[in-house]
A and B are shown apart, each in its own frame.
Chain A
Amino acid sequence: DADVTQTPRNRITKTGKRIMLECSQTKGHDRMYWYRQDPGLGLRLIYYSFDVKDINKGEISDGYSVSRQAQAKFSLSLESAIPNQTALYFCATSDPRTSPSTDTQYFGPGTRLTVL
């Protein structure tokens, strides 16, 4: 089984609808992240959480909210979806016990979201 899973893998929705993307991990990591990827722009950080009680905005948090339900679960919500939120969304985890010089992130397979 994959260590980081995302559901759904693909979603098509309409403008104005509320959407929730879910991420679960079995790696036992405290830190979790949500990114979006647009063609040619790499990945940009939306929100991140360093533990269950910690939530932080990333580079592009406007129009999004998150919920950290447990150490293993981190959800991303679009309260009222708009077409320019059409993108590929990735969840990632990292282990805070790792030295900063070797710190890395582990990514889920991504969710392709299309807002019509």
Chain B
Amino acid sequence: KQEVTQIPAALSVPEGENLVLNCSFTDSAIYNLQWFRQDPGKGLTSLLLIQSSQREQTSGRLNASLDKSSGRSTLYIAASQPGDSATYLCAVNAGNMLTFGGGTRLMVKP
């Protein structure tokens, strides 16, 4: 059974800092890995999707990496802003369904 773990569970940083969120998974037989953002009272927004054959994806200040063999992914956020405050979820797709980690709750202080 696939298990996905995110560390840390919560993180508070001052504005402007670069930060890294971690995601690990137990079964490397995946099609892709996604990072989602969740804001209170709203659904999930897909940030980045990394296919199993890829090593990384970038979107603006976000960079996600994937090391499938070691079962790890990181989400790097550059020059953090208060608007980045949200919960970040990673999810692996091993075929037809997603398995989610518990999320990292990020607070960026002005």
Task: Using CB atoms and an 8 Å cutoff, list the residues of chain B in contact with chain A.
Answer: 4, 6, 9, 31-32, 34, 41-44, 46, 49, 51-53, 89, 91, 93, 95-98, 100-103
Task: Using CB atoms and an 8 Å cutoff, list the residues of chain A in contact with chain B.
Answer: 4, 31, 33, 40-45, 48, 50, 58, 90, 100-105, 107-110
Q: Which residues of B contact A41 (CB under 8 A)?
A: 102
Q: Which residues of A contact B89 (CB under 8 A)?
A: 42-43
B41 x A109 contact (CB < 8 A): yes
Contact flag A107-B31 (CB < 8 Å), given A43-B89, A101-B53, A102-B49? no
With both chains docked as a complex, state the minimum distance between the C-beta of B68 and any C-beta of chain A, in angstroms: 12
How far does the alpha carbon of A67 sit from the alpha carbon of B42 in the complex, in Å?
24
Partner of B34, one of A42, A50, A104: A104
B51 x A42 contact (CB < 8 A): no
How far does the alpha carbon of A48 sit from the alpha carbon of B41 in the complex, in Å?
23
10 A-B pairs closest in CB distance: A42-B100, A107-B43, A101-B51, A100-B31, A107-B44, A43-B100, A109-B43, A42-B102, A40-B102, A101-B31
How far does the alpha carbon of A58 sit from the alpha carbon of B43 in the complex, in Å?
20
With both chains docked as a complex, state the minimum distance between the C-beta of B71 and any C-beta of chain A, in angstroms: 16
24 contacts between A and B (CB under 8 A): A31-B96, A33-B97, A40-B9, A41-B102, A42-B100, A43-B100, A44-B100, A45-B98, A50-B96, A90-B43, A100-B31, A100-B93, A100-B95, A101-B52, A101-B53, A102-B32, A103-B93, A104-B32, A104-B34, A107-B43, A107-B44, A108-B43, A109-B42, A110-B42
